[in-house]
Structure 1
Amino acid sequence: MKNNTKLWIGAGAALASVLILSNRKKSNAPLATVANVDLDKYAGRWYEIARLPKRFEKGCHCVYAEYQQNPNGYIEVRNACHEGGPEGKLDIAEGKAFPVEGSHNSKLKVQFFWPFKGDYWILELDPAYQYALVGTPDRESLWILSRTPQLDQDIYNRLIYQAEVKGFPVGKLLKTDQSCYTTAG
């Protein structure tokens, strides 16, 4: 009976440890977004200037995204990258983005594979819609976007500072190679 008791105590302790570890989540402060986004102005091409590493973007160069409003109330999303280098094969992923009710279009749910949707929160946005900082509330995804393949260094530094203040691990940011595009876009 003593061995059985030890077994149950050991199993209980192991189960308690698993439950405690699985319920521990990284606690982040609420993430503020911009007050309002005009989706007509946001539509068009955005070049990726920098990003936190993501498995689906590994080896991507000359990355851009295109957004277009659909009459059915969602945004058509087209992400593109050259695989392996600037001369690599162009890989295109198409999806949809849905504005989150009550967010004034600053929070979107993006879907590339049904039924999965991911967060796309617009955290900083130039009043002229020329650059943006986009991330997720868990601080695991972050993008610096620009209407042109290059972004002024002062603006870039300011966006990195804003991302750091918001709790993103900016030390892990990767600058995106945009060498296959000219500054004319």
Structure 2
Amino acid sequence: MNPSFSLVLPFLLPLIGAQVPHWGPCPEPAVQAAFNLKQFMGRWFEIAKLPAQFEKGRCIETNFTMKPDSSIRVVSSEVLKGELRKIEGTGVTEDPKNPAKLGITYSYVLPYSPYWILSTDYVNSALVYSCTDVLRLFHVDFAWVLSRKRTLPASTIDKAKETFTNSNIDVSRMVASRQQGCDKTL
């Protein structure tokens, strides 16, 4: 075994265990052309996703707010076992020439993870993709269908899945997020 791989392996096992790895490097899907970050800001509800170890609850939503230094305050929440849980992170535009490619981190010690907006109309829905290459041998990815409301028409979700598939992103395991009973007091 390659010595550098054996040093990295203990850090990769939790990531690998949480997701289904795919052979080869990450796909390079096209992102939203002429993306307007300010229009994207605000509250987004998770409608469908590739299962993620870090998202186990229901009523998952994320609120994006611009900060004075042009970074993004990212507050994600979910209801898990009857309890509202929130986590705050930071987002950045990694390349000013390509503002639809964001990076987000929820820890000062972890690097930014890709958070690419593949498409959005800003007022109804957005398709987001994240992928991490592991030594270019395999990749682990995440995909989300987001909405400004807690529901989307089935036809919109079907079109979203088609967009992911056409970008070489396997969404065969995509599941609906649970957004029922979220507006009740906990």
Taking structure 1 as the reference length, the TM-score comes to 0.78
CA drift at 1:45: 0.5
Q: What CA distance in whole angstroms lies between the structure 2 residues aligned with 1:79 and 1:68?
A: 12
Cα deviation code 1:13-59 (max 9, x no counterpart)? x66xx89xx9xx5134422111132222111100000111111112x
Alignment gaps of 5+ in structure 1: 1-13
Instruction: Provide the aligned C-alpha RMSD in A.
Output: 2.2
Cα deviation code 1:104-161 (max 9, x no counterpart)? 32011101011321110001112x4320000024561101000000001111110011
Partner of 1:10: none
- Which of 84, 101, 107 aligns to 1:113? It is 107
CA drift at 1:169: 2.0
- Which of 40, 43, 61 aligns to 2:41? It is 43
Alignment gaps of 5+ in structure 2: 10-22, 133-139
User: Is 2:83 the counterpart of 1:89?
Assistant: yes
Q: Which 4+ residue blocks in structure 1 deviate beyond 2 angstroms?
A: 27-30
Q: What CA distance in whole angstroms lies between the structure 1 residues aligned with 2:98 and 2:147?
A: 21
Cα deviation code 1:47-92 (max 9, x no counterpart)? 000111111112x1010000000011101000000003xxx10000
Partner of 2:162: 161
Asked if 2 retains the 8 angstrom alpha-carbon contact of 1:48 and 1:143, the reply is: yes
Q: What residue identity is the alignment partner of 1:153?
A: A
User: Is 2:171 the counterpart of 1:170?
Assistant: yes
Q: What residue identity is the alignment partner of 1:57?
A: E
Greater share of strand residues, 1 or 2?
2
Taking structure 2 as the reference length, the TM-score comes to 0.77
Asked if 2 retains the 8 angstrom alpha-carbon contact of 1:31 and 1:137, the reply is: no
Partner of 2:65: 68
Q: Which entry has the higher C-alpha Rg, 1 or 2?
A: 1
- Which of 50, 53, 56 aligns to 1:52? It is 50
User: Is 2:30 the counterpart of 1:32?
Assistant: yes
Aligned residues: 159
- Which of 126, 131, 135 aligns to 2:129? It is 135
Q: What CA distance in whole angstroms lies between the structure 2 residues aligned with 1:130 and 1:150?
A: 10
Greater share of helix residues, 1 or 2?
1
Please state whether the residue corresponding to 2:106 is helix, strand or coil.
Answer: strand
- Which structure has the higher relative contact order (CA within 8 Å, separation 6+)? 2
